[in-house]
């Protein structure tokens, strides 16, 4: 079986970000199958080129995983208009690049951004192959809720495109139970939507990883480290972290460490400077393969999004990594993620946008090491039982085999 995936934001182990599709490719490879990935030539966090090439695409190979890097206009961190231009450029170039891959059994598209899923649908249509639509975030609803999409005509067109993709997909794969409920409420057949959480690699992220080198690198050997790892974008509400840090600026033992990059990073760093925050470190983006040691350097880990109702439907991948590493999560996201943390006993929930409560919670945890340790143990135990990525990849594999008509 050969599967073609079009994913603008694909991340290799050498880049910052989530490597779920690389791990899927390696899993399929171990079963004697192949996942070929058409990706953009920019990293979505840093906005930097991942490969140099002169034509429309360049081919890379990561431990046997074939990746075709297709051209994209380098404007992901500019205005919304230029982001759309960038998305459309990949939508077009990825179609050309996808047709360079021969003997495909199934085409898989992923969203957001939604335009690349159109490319996958078109390639599947022309090749008369099944089209699996993977929905990682609910677009355009997230964009509308955040105020990124405001023009009523654009919103109407985006919602039409969403309905079109749901209707024309052979099957839909979602990574949150709330996404499945959302689609069924929109009239999509229950049989057409499968929920499989991403989970995480429980061997890569585990409590025995040593984070002392990272703590030494950042001069935090004796500090209580509050870690945020991920994108620094509009949705991530890093401003609430900064306001909480300002409330704790006189607590010399507490440090907020932000690993990641994104469109808002320069502005956030400038704001931290204006606020004279001595307890916040912007540590930059690191490759995924470095993240186990980074998470291991933390005492507690932060997952946070803006206080928007639609964000209650999402499962942030970083939470799974935190849990697998045996770290307590301070969760500033309501909804299904809160249900996960409360079911596991692996962290504490703070109302989104409430920097006062966030500061109070972190201060309390910094003085209660036994509670922090117990929550981390609870999180690891729950994650291993329910969200081991090997189990989730097995479920995904069974779905893929069904779609291509193989037992």
Find the mean pLDDT for residues 39-46.
Answer: 78
Q: Which of 156-160, 208-212, 287-291 has the highest mean pLDDT?
A: 208-212
pLDDT of residue 56: 84
In percent, how much of the chain has pLDDT > 70?
Answer: 97
Does residue 345 register a pLDDT over 60? yes
pLDDT of residue 77: 61
- 86: confidence class by pLDDT, cuts 50, 70, 90: confident
Does residue 75 register a pLDDT over 90? no
Q: List pLDDT tens digits, range 27-39.
A: 999 999 999 999 9
pLDDT of residue 324: 97
pLDDT of residue 18: 80
Per the rule left: phi > 0, alpha: psi between -120 and 50, beta: everything else, 199 is left
pLDDT of residue 407: 53
Burial 274-305 (b: 16+ CB within 10 A, else e): eeebebbbbbebbebeebbbbbbbbbbbbbbb
pLDDT of residue 284: 92
Both tokens assigned to 358: 């966030």
Are 322 and 252 in contact by the 8 Å Cβ rule? The answer is no
Q: List pLDDT tens digits, range 90-148.
A: 999 999 999 999 999 999 999 988 889 999 999 999 999 999 999 998 888 888 888 77
The residue behind tokens 């025995």 is 208
Cα distances from 358 to residues 18, 74, 169, in angstroms, run 26, 36, 42
Does residue 317 register a pLDDT over 80? yes
DSSP string for 9-73? T---TTSSS--HHHHHHHHHHHTT-EEEEEEESB-TTT--BSS--SSSEEEEEETTEEEEEE---
Q: Which residues pair with 60 in a beta bridge?
A: 67
User: Is the domain defined by 212-386 classed in CATH 3.10.180.10?
Assistant: no
Residue count of the chain: 407
Both tokens assigned to 4: 């073609």
Instruction: Kindly state the DSSP code that residue 249 receives in the 8-state scheme.
Output: T
> By CB neighbour count within 10 A (0-12 exposed, 13-18 middle, 19+ buried), where does 224 fall?
buried
| CATH number of the domain located at residue range(s) 2-199+388-403 in this protein | 3.40.50.2000
Query: What average pLDDT does the chain have?
Result: 92
Range in 83-97, 190-204, 281-295, 362-376 the model is least confident about? 83-97
More confidently predicted of 191 and 77: 191
pLDDT of residue 299: 97
Are 41 and 54 in contact by the 8 Å Cβ rule? The answer is no
| CA 256, 262, 263, 265 torsion-angle sign | positive
Residue 192: Cβ within 10 Å count: 16
Give the phi and the psi of residue 135 in degrees, each rounded to 5.
Answer: -110, 110
Residue 382: Cβ within 10 Å count: 18
pLDDT of residue 41: 84
Give span(s): CATH 3.40.50.2000, the chain.
2-199+388-403, 212-386
- 80: confidence class by pLDDT, cuts 50, 70, 90: low
């Amino acid at each position: 079986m050969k599967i073609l995936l079009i994913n603008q934001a694909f991340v290799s182990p050498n880049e910052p970000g989530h490597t779920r599709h690389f791990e899927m490719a390696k899993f399929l490879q171990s079963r004697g199958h192949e996942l070929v990935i058409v990706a953009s030539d920019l990293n979505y966090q840093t906005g930097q080129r991942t490969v140099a090439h002169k034509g429309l695409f360049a081919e890379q190979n990561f431990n046997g995983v074939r990746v075709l890097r297709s051209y994209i206009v380098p404007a992901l961190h500019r205005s919304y208009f230029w982001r759309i231009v960038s998305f459309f450029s990949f939508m077009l170039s990825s179609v050309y690049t996808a047709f360079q891959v021969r003997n495909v059994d199934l085409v898989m598209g992923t969203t957001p951004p939604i335009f690349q899923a159109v490319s996958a649908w078109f390639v599947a249509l022309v090749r008369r192959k099944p089209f699996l639509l993977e929905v990682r975030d609910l677009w355009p609803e997230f964009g509308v809720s955040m105020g990124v999409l405001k023009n009523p005509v654009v919103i109407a067109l985006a919602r039409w495109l969403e309905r079109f993709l749901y209707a024309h997909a052979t099957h839909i794969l979602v990574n949150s139970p709330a996404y499945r409920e959302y689609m069924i409420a929109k009239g999509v057949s229950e049989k057409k939507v499968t929920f499989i959480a991403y989970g995480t690699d429980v061997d890569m992220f585990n409590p025995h990883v040593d984070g002392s080198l990272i703590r030494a690198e950042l001069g935090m050997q004796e500090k209580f480290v509050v870690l945020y790892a991920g994108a620094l974008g509009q949705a991530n509400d890093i401003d609430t972290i900064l306001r909480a840090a300002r409330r704790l600026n006189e607590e010399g033992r507490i440090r907020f460490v932000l690993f990641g990059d994104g469109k808002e990073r320069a502005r956030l760093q400038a704001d931290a400077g204006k606020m004279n925050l001595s307890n916040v470190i912007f540590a930059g983006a690191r490759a995924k393969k470095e993240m186990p040691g980074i998470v291991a350097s933390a005492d507690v880990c932060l997952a946070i999004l803006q206080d928007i109702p639609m964000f209650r439907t999402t499962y942030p991948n970083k939470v799974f990594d935190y849990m697998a590493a045996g770290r307590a999560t301070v969760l500033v996201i309501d909804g299904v993620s809160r249900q996960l943390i409360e079911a596991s006993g692996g962290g504490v929930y703070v109302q989104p946008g409430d920097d006062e409560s966030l500061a109070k919670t972190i201060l309390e945890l910094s003085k209660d090491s036994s509670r922090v340790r117990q929550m981390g143990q609870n999180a690891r135990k729950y994650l291993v039982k329910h969200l081991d990525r090997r189990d989730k990849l097995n479920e995904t594999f069974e779905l893929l085999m069904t779609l291509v008509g193989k037992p």
